[in-house]
Structure 1
Amino acid sequence: MNIIIGMVLLGLYPISKNTLYLPLFLQTAGIIGIAAGLMNGIPMRLGNINNDGYNTLEIGRNSEAMRAFWLQLKLNGLAAQGIRIKDMPEEWFEIPDDEKMKNSILAVIGVLVENRLMDLHKFEEAEHLINELLEKDTAIVEVHRRLLICDLIYCRLVRGNVYGQAGDLIDRRQKKFMTAMRNFLSVIRTEYALALLERKDEKEARSIREKFEKSARSFPYPSEVESERELIDIADKRNLYGNLPGARDDNRGAVRSEDSMK
Structure 2
Amino acid sequence: MPKNKKNIKEILSSTIPFLLMLGCGFIAGFLGTKNLDQNELAEISFLGSLFGFIFFISSVLVQTILHEAGHLVFGLMSGYEFVSFRVGSFTLIKENNKFFIKKFNLKGTAGQCLMMPKSDNCESCSYVLYNLGGILMNALVSILCFIIYSSVTTSIYLSEFLYGMIIFGVIAILTNGIPMKISGISNDGYNTFSILKNNTMKYCFYIQLKVHGLLSKGMRIKDMPIEWFEIDEKSDFSNPLICSIKCIEASYYHDRLEFDKAKSCYEFLINYSPNILKLFENEIKCELLFYEIIVTQNQNNINELYTKKLKSYIKATNCYISRARLMYAYHLIIEKDIKKANTFLDKFDKLKNTYPVKGEISGEVEVINFIKNKFLISDNINNSSL
Written as runs of structure 1 = structure 2, the 5 A alignment for 1:55-134 is: 55-134=191-270
Alignment-mate amino acid for residue 90 of structure 1: I
Distance 1:24 1:131 in 2: 52
Distance 1:135 1:103 in 2: 13
**Offset at 1:142?**
2.4
Alignment-mate amino acid for residue 208 of structure 2: Q
Which of 330, 338, 359 matches 1:202? 338
| CA offset digits 1:131-177 (Å, max 9, x no partner) | 22112257643223222211111111111324844243122221111
Which of 163, 172, 178 matches 1:42? 178
Which residue of structure 2 aligns with residue 27 of structure 1?
Answer: 163
Which residue of structure 2 aligns with residue 180 of structure 1?
Answer: 316
| CA offset digits 1:70-128 (Å, max 9, x no partner) | 11121122112211111100111213424421322222111111111111111122223
CA 1:62–1:9: 2 relative to 1, 3 Å? same
CA 1:156–1:8: 2 relative to 1, 3 Å? farther
CA contact (8 A) 1:158 1:234 kept: no
**Offset at 1:9?**
6.2
CA contact (8 A) 1:17 1:23 kept: yes
**Offset at 1:13?**
6.3
**Offset at 1:217?**
0.8
CA contact (8 A) 2:145 2:166 kept: yes
CA 1:218–1:44: 2 relative to 1, 3 Å? closer
Larger mean CA deviation between 166-175 and 64-73 belongs to 166-175
CA contact (8 A) 2:237 2:272 kept: no
Written as runs of structure 1 = structure 2, the 5 A alignment for 1:218-257 is: 218-240=354-376
Distance 2:213 2:236 in 1: 25
Per the alignment, in what secondary structure is the counterpart of residue 231 of structure 1?
A: helix
CA 1:178–1:137: 2 relative to 1, 3 Å? closer
**Offset at 1:201?**
0.9
Which residue of structure 2 aligns with residue 18 of structure 1?
Answer: 156
TM-score by length of 1: 0.78
Distance 2:262 2:270 in 1: 12
| Bigger CA radius of gyration | 2
Distance 2:374 2:303 in 1: 17
Which residue of structure 2 aligns with residue 248 of structure 1?
Answer: none
CA 1:99–1:89: 2 relative to 1, 3 Å? closer
CA 1:129–1:138: 2 relative to 1, 3 Å? farther
CA 1:12–1:158: 2 relative to 1, 3 Å? farther
Per the alignment, in what secondary structure is the counterpart of residue 101 of structure 1?
A: coil
Alignment-mate amino acid for residue 326 of structure 2: T
Per the alignment, in what secondary structure is the counterpart of residue 257 of structure 2?
A: coil
1:211 lines up with 2:340 in the alignment: no
Larger mean CA deviation between 198-207 and 122-131 belongs to 122-131
CA 1:170–1:30: 2 relative to 1, 3 Å? farther
Unaligned runs of 5+ in 1: 243-262
Distance 1:50 1:18 in 2: 37
Larger mean CA deviation between 171-180 and 192-201 belongs to 171-180
Alignment-mate amino acid for residue 210 of structure 1: D
Q: CA RMSD in A?
A: 2.9
CA 1:131–1:9: 2 relative to 1, 3 Å? farther
Distance 1:62 1:106 in 2: 12
CA 1:8–1:131: 2 relative to 1, 3 Å? farther
Identity %, equivalent residues: 29
TM-score by length of 2: 0.55
- Paired residues in the alignment total 239
Unaligned runs of 5+ in 2: 1-133, 379-386
